[in-house]
Structure 1
Amino acid sequence: MKHLTFAAGVLCATGAFAQTPELTVYTYDSFVSDWGPGPQIEKAFEATCGCDLKFVTAGDGAALMARIRLEGERTGADVVLGLDTNLTAAARATNLFAPSGVEADYALPIEWSDDTFVPYDWGYFAFVHNTKLEHVPQDFLELARSDLKIIIQDPRSSTPGLGLLLWVKAAYGDQAEQVWKDLADNIVTVTKGWSEAYGLFLEGEADMVLSYTTSPAYHVIAESDTTKEAAAFDEGHYMQIEVAARLASSKQPELAQQFLQFITTDAFQSVIPTTNWMYPAVMPEGGLPEGFNDLVEPRNSLLIPEAEAEAVRDTALAEWLSALSQ
């Protein structure tokens, strides 16, 4: 009798465990690192959803798009987090994503009315350097004329890499390919993603690395280190708005929608500045940390509209490949 009672208890416990819904979110590597926002967000969301939030990494942001395209409706993802406005037109064209059902009071530099993609942070691309650098270039042309060594990311796998292509294209138009030809001998290496590139920079492998104007805030807040700065370029800086969206094929559509709404709450947004080191899409109740006060503010804000970004991306990528292959 005791054996039967124990067995029944095991069956009940197993059944309860099996009934816990699981939400799978595809994202980029740094988001779920020990120092990234993933661990805190997972804990906070699971406390409200009665579910198991599972992050699955797929390299960097642009690699997410490639994986979703490859998997199509057979994807195991319920939500994708880590695309940006340079990729949303391509993502929308797949017809794999469903309306978000989310409304929020966004604190973005531009008006946001997209009914599919939910922004969770934003920032400006910039080249980060050590303060000991004697002469900091003030634009891409000056950088190309210098003997400074830089590390950038591959635009085919990385959203910062893609953002750099569009930054140069937005600033120089038809002259972009020549700019890349002039920059070619400054490039030490092209990495698949941001984490690898920034790590190499910190190891002293280059003078500058493609990152964000907000990156120095990490060193100030987390390390009390004031030796990193972002170079202010006269052409202006290209904006990145990172977004999340739910898959139409999700087996947990209500939970996926709940997660997208959770993105706009203080529990999510307050984590972003000091873990993803970007500006939050919705201003947290406590505002921004003190280390964000003295960051570079671009003279001009550059952003190619979503409707144009895909066509411009194809042209810019061809120019980049041609310039770097010579």
Structure 2
Amino acid sequence: MRHLAIAAGLLMATQAAAQTPELTVYTYDSLATEWGPGPVIEAEFEKTCGCDVTFVTAGDGAALLSRLRLEGARTEADVVLGLDTALMGAAAESGLFAPSGVTADYSLPIDWTDETFVPFDWGYFAFVGLTDGPQPTSFRALADSDASIVIEDPRSSTPGLGLLLWVKQAYGDEAPAIWEALADNIVTVTPGWSEAYGLFLEGEADLVMSYTTSPAYHLIAEDDATKTALAFDEGNYMQVEVAAALASTDQPELAQQFLQFLTGEAVQSAIPTTNWMYPAVTPAAGLPEGYETLTVPATPLLMPVAEAQAARDAALEEWRAALAQ
């Protein structure tokens, strides 16, 4: 009888597991870490959805889109979390994504009307360094200085691509000359943000390509006020990070529910102290103490989606040519 009871229990457990829908979310590495927003998102959504959320990491943001393009309609992903405004044009052209059906009262500094991609956070790109270290105020001043920098590869990383578009928008036809001048400052180019920021923290470079919100982590989580983000005279380039449902998902209603959930209080209140970015929808309690100390660029820069898509390939070739010399 005991064996029959065990067998029956195993059968019921198997049936329950089979009846629990699974939502597979592709995202970038740092989001799914134990200190990132991934665990909060997973735990809070599973409380309401009756499902299992599985995060699959694929490097940095640009690597996510590359992987999805390779997998096409065969992908196991139901949702991708971590593309951005620089990738939205290419993502839309791929035909891999479905309209979101999401409505939200966004707190973004730009109007948002896209029906497919759902913003979940935003920020300004910036070079981050020590408060007692080099603090150039422009790309030209950076190139003229002895400051060493770590940057991310624009082919695999959204901060890397953001830097590429930042230089292109600020300098236009002079962008190749800026890259040639910066080449001597670059210590290395990493595949993604996590590797670059880690090298900076290890003292391998004076500055790292990151965000104006990065010092908030050190200030709030570590009580460390020695990190600062630089506002450049040319302006600082903006990023809006987005999520989208795959058109091939076999869980379309669950995917739409997840996207709507991302804009809600549970996720948005966690973003400033887990992903260390500005929330796309300001939570009821506002921003955490410490955010008021952050650098706010005087001149925000952001190419429209179509313009960013059109500029990408030429800007990438200019970057590669300059760094190859």
In 2, distance between residues paired with 1:259 and 1:12? 28
Give 1:60-209 correspondences, 5 Å limit.
60-133=60-133, 135-209=134-208
One-letter code of the match for 2:202? E
CA-to-aligned-CA distance 1:196-252 (integer Å, 9 cap, x gap): 000000000000000000000000000000000001111000000000000010011
Give a deviation string over 1:30-68, Cα, whole Å, max 9, x none: 001111110111111111111000000000000001000
Deviation at 1:4, TM superposition (A): 3.5
TM-score, L = length of structure 1? 0.98
What is residue 58 of structure 2 aligned with on the other side?
58
Q: CA deviation at 1:8?
A: 2.7
CA displacement, residues 67-101 of structure 1 (integer Å, 9 cap, x when unaligned): 00000000000000100011111001111100000
Q: Distance in 2 between matches of 1:216 and 1:281?
A: 19
- Mapped to 2, the partners of 1:306 and 1:121 lie a distance apart of 17
User: Taking every aligned residue pair, what percent have the same amino acid on both sides?
Assistant: 71
Bigger mean CA deviation after superposition, 316-325 or 4-13: 4-13
Alignment of 1:12-23 (within 5 A): 12-23=12-23
In the other structure, the counterpart of 1:218 is: 217
Amino acid at match of 1:146: S
- Paired amino acid for 2:294: L
RMSD between superposed Cα atoms in Å:
0.9
1:313 aligns with 2:312: yes
What's the secondary structure of 1:290's corresponding residue?
coil
Amino acid aligned to 1:105: D
Partner of 1:231: 230
Distance in 2 (CA, whole Å) between partners of 1:207 and 1:96 is 40
Matches within 5 A, 1:217-296: 217-296=216-295
Write the letter of the residue equivalent to 1:67: R
Distance 2:163 2:318 in 1: 13
Q: Distance in 2 between matches of 1:308 and 1:150?
A: 28
Does the C-alpha gap of structure 1 residues 2 and 217 become closer, same or farther in structure 2, counting only changes over 3 Å? closer
Residue 273 of structure 2 aligns to a residue whose secondary structure is coil
Alpha-carbon distance, 1:6 to partner: 4.0
AA in 1 matched with 2:68: I
Cα deviations by residue, 1:128-154 (Å, 9 ceiling, x for unpaired): 010111x41110000000111000000
Give SS of 1:297's match: coil
Runs of 4+ in 1 over 4 A off after TM superposition: none
* Ranges in structure 1 where 5+ consecutive residues have no aligned partner: none
Aligned partner of residue 274 in structure 1, secondary structure: helix
Q: For residue 208 of structure 1, what is the amino acid of its counterpart?
A: L
Structure 2 counterpart of 1:26, which letter? Y
Q: Residue 127 of structure 1 aligns to a residue in which SS?
A: strand
After superposition, the C-alpha distances for 1:93-118 in whole angstroms (9 at most, x for unaligned) are 11110000000000000000110000
Indicate the larger mover: 8-17 or 74-83.
8-17
1:231 and 1:11 mapped to 2: Cα distance? Answer: 59
1:37 equivalent in structure 2: 37
TM-score by structure 2 length?
A: 0.98
Gaps of 5+ in 2: none
Q: For the structure 1 residues 287 and 70, does the alpha-carbon distance in structure 2 shift closer, same or farther, using more than 3 Å as the test?
A: same
